[in-house]
Structure 1
Amino acid sequence: MTTARAIRLHAFGGPEVLQLETVELPPPAAGEVEVRQTAIGFNYIDVYQRKGIYPLPSPTGLGHEAAGVVEAAGLGVTDLKVGDRVAYINAGIGAYADRRVLPAEKLVPIPANVTDEEAAALIFKGLTAQYLVRKTHKVAPGDIVVVHAAAGGVGQILSSWAKALGAFVIGTAGSPEKCAIAKAAGCDVAIDYSKDGWVEEVIAATSGKKARVVYDSVGRDTFLKSLDLIAPFGLMVLYGAASGPVEPFNTEVLNKKGCLFLTRPSIFPHNADVATLRENAADLFEAVAKGWVKASIGARFPLADVAAAHQAAEARATTGAILLVP
């Protein structure tokens, strides 16, 4: 029986609860493959789950996304073979490991023009951006789009993809340095939302025209103010809560601000079956091939130093994607 190094949680709390352990892996059963992981992605949902905000059974692993190489295949697996490079986002909690046995139908082949690290950095964040610009709101030429946290992993991909689709993109970020990163990612304008008056700055950037859509992964610190940035009948997309959950509010506000629409989407329903997942991944990788989307890797941490990765993420001390290296 193969062994693997994996991060396990026996209690929820701070980064110190993340424990590196040796676990046994059974051989792949029918429909499964064993993957030697080469790069593991980090997503802020990992923090929420580590803290117990998004409940998990205990003890548990952690992590949703990784890339690697197929090392063995079980009976009935015909679409993957030993040596294939693959990535995944929703194959069960536990991506923080150097090896896993996974259902073959949960895996996406990595094309030759994408490295393992790029795939691990892009698969969750890129598929998040994909549903945001293709499905939640189909970004069209001439759209005014606001992207909060535009220097972050999803923010950079979302900004560059929306720009490639013809939008005028206003990014926000929490410092001048992060605003520079947002501009480099494709934002036409980048505004520091840590300063007073940022709402007025956003509106001034378009000579008073308001946005067709606001993409907000920050949550509590930006949500209510963002409603003032949206044109009548426009859309507020809340897809994260890095600053904390949005406080309850009177939905009549949406009427008074211009009959606004509000949605709270997430990645997993948008990739719920293998055909849809692989179709969306193909769309993402095509955007990479066109140069619309690039993997921005902001930091790498050894798997054993996963606590430091979580600390850096919570302190907002990084830009771009965080990778764990087995």
Structure 2
Amino acid sequence: MLKIAIISINQPSLNSAIKLNEYLSEYEVDIYGKKDLEHDFDKLICYEKIDTVLTNAWKKYDAIICILAMGIVVRKIAPLLESKATDPAVLVMSMDLSKVIPLLSGHIGGANELSDVIAKKIDGCINFISTATDQVKVFAFDMFAKKNGMKIENLNKLANISNRLINKQKVKVFSYKNIFEAIDDKNNLQLISVDEIDENTVIINPLKSSDKLQLKPKIYLGMGCNRNTSFEDIEKAFLCFLDKYNLALEQIENIASFEAKNDEVGLLTFAKKYNFDIKFFDEKQINALEGEFSPSQAKKFFGLKGVAEPSSVLVSKYKELIIPKEVYEKKITIAGAV
């Protein structure tokens, strides 16, 4: 749940903060007001100096809504700014709640999104978004990453990419076909091969390391194992798999397997330890998948196209296999999909 601080500075702005709170019932909201002001809000957090409030709120809240003069807000938050990847969303509202401006962290921090929510809830409220990509309605890679749970690397390259799209210039995208097809607005975007990568390329790939703007989607693993394979052997194979492909644990979103493995103690123990909500798929689901998979013993024993590869595709977001199965100690198979 989004944690929001509403900061007021005088009696009118405190009255407005309390009113605004009524529109934000789905969020966790704290209201700050100067001490000795009149109110009947029993959870008001009182303060003496606005500097202290903003400094303490900076790391504590996902969003800060200031019912203050914009100049004050700008001056007070200036020393606190670190990065567009980590700074909280900062919004400024007029005291009559008729105007809202997402001042900082519009995309990644969610200020634009929150201001849009507020404007839609309050009759006549004007949402003044200054982010260029929103104003001219072009595709924004940082919003795409946020909405799809992708990690962003080399964020300092984003401005150049966004400006190219705003200026209707071509931007190359090195990614997988299914991810590229998931982009709604492909105007001036071109899917390319690895040998076409240049300084105006965005990479959407969880495996390749780059100095370009890179979005890293989550990876989903399909896992198969022989009957009664131990937790220790499964964990060892999993860690070897991560090491081989230079993957961090947090890049793995979930795991899956064939339904006949749903009572495998070692596999279930592994899923529990790493907090995976393991999914199991049946013969009909696996064999309904189109495309070819690596030869598998599952064909002989279960009449399946495979276990690791098709399971990874079925559980994944974009349904595209990116790491063919690896076999460990002739009893464990692991494959990866996005």
Same-fold call, TM cutoff 0.5: no
TM-score, normalization by structure 2: 0.26
Larger relative contact order (Cα-Cα within 8 Å, sequence gap ≥ 6): 1
TM-score, normalization by structure 1: 0.26
